[in-house]
Copies of this chain bind each other. A is one copy, B any other.
Amino acid sequence: MNEFDLIDKLRRRVEQAHSSASSFTLPASSLIRGIGDDAAVIRTEIGKNTVVTTDLLVEEIDFRRDTTRPDLLGHKALAVSLSDIAAMGACPRWALVSIGLSKKIWSSGFVEGFYEGFFRLADHFDVTLIGGDVSSTLERIFIDSIVIGESVKGGAVFRSGAQPGDQIFVTGYLGDAAAGLRLIERGARLQQTTRQLDDYSMSRPSSERSIDHLLLRHLQPEPRVGWGLLLGDKQLATAMIDISDGLSSDLNHLCSESKVGALVDASRIPIDHFVTELCGRRALDPLMLALHGGEDFELLFTVKAENVAKLPRRVDGVPVTRIGEITEATSGIRIAEGSKIWNLEPGGWEHFKG
């Protein structure tokens, strides 16, 4: 198989899915030209704006081949970009993938597994692969994942709209992915073969299940597409960002763009009991994982006080928790832990130190 064979195969996969699509799915006719030309052509819809994001995954920086699987990487590559589209309150529609890999990895069956995981997630959210590029590299794998979404005109949610008095929320639980990464670094490996989305098996014994759960939160993150759509559609969020660098960093980004401060209540930060148990056994501080651990891909958003009651408790089974309040910029970004209040400095990942 050369790269043209792969592109043909991906094109047939997408065209078959489109031709067999039920009337419940989005109209295939919005895609005028997908894989197989110099560029893809999308019909723009009246009343909609275009939202676009791109995210890199680099071997030995973002993942190691011996601690994940090709299908989980395919899932994660798409998931991280879906998370950005969700953080704009937009609906993901189209994806492109650029991938570089060595001839040795090419002939190992890596790409088949990668696209299996990619399409499993893409199909789940009715996202269509419309293009990309493939190149050889001398050694390591890198992946660039591009997702294009739509938002109703005036409906996109920016980082910059938070105002003093707005309440701060996060979806799901924080620190899971960081705990999973630490487990991997200490030698833990997945026991189960695959987790189906929305179908996390409860039939395994507890400790194995808890480890697998945390590993998968790092290896196979679930983008909060449903929450993003709801917050965009109902215009409930004044500002939003996804937690990719870590709560402390991403809250700093949101506050900086909005020119506001924040006060977070440490006791309200949602931490999974799996993380608390793990930290208990290993003398780790779960709050530090929740504050500074990256890659949870939960949504961090702000809501006007009078709109808080309009928020649903859960979307797609994922809860939401109020963790604090937006303040004036002059107060800074602070966290209250018991009777102590301290400044919440960004503590997330930096590729290049300043």
- Closest chain B residue, CB of each to CB of A83: B38
Contact A84 B49 (CB under 8 A): no
**Which stretch of A134-142, A175-183, A314-322, A332-340 is in the interface?**
A134-142
In the bound assembly, the distance between CA atoms of A98 and B100 in angstroms comes to 13
Interface residues on A, range: 35 or more
Contact (A257, B58) CB under 8 Å given A136-B352, A352-B2: no
Q: Could you say which of B100, B159, B242 contacts A142, with CB atoms under 8 Å apart?
A: B100
In the bound assembly, the distance between CA atoms of A98 and B37 in angstroms comes to 22
In the bound assembly, the distance between CA atoms of A353 and B6 in angstroms comes to 11
A144 CB contacts on chain B under 8 angstroms: 54, 56, 98, 133, 144
Which residues in chain A, 297-352, are within 8 Å of chain B measured between CB atoms? 350-352
Within the complex, the shortest CB–CB distance from A332 to chain B, in Å, comes to 18
Contact B351 A134 (CB under 8 A): yes
Contact (A151, B49) CB under 8 Å given A54-B133, A55-B133, A352-B3: no
Which residues in chain A, 88-136, are within 8 Å of chain B measured between CB atoms? 88, 90, 94, 96, 98, 100, 103, 106-107, 130-136
Tell me if A251 is interfacial: C-beta within 8 Å of chain B.
Answer: no
Contact B51 A156 (CB under 8 A): no
Tell me if A149 is interfacial: C-beta within 8 Å of chain B.
Answer: yes
**Which stretch of A40-48, A197-205, A263-271, A281-289 is in the interface?**
A40-48
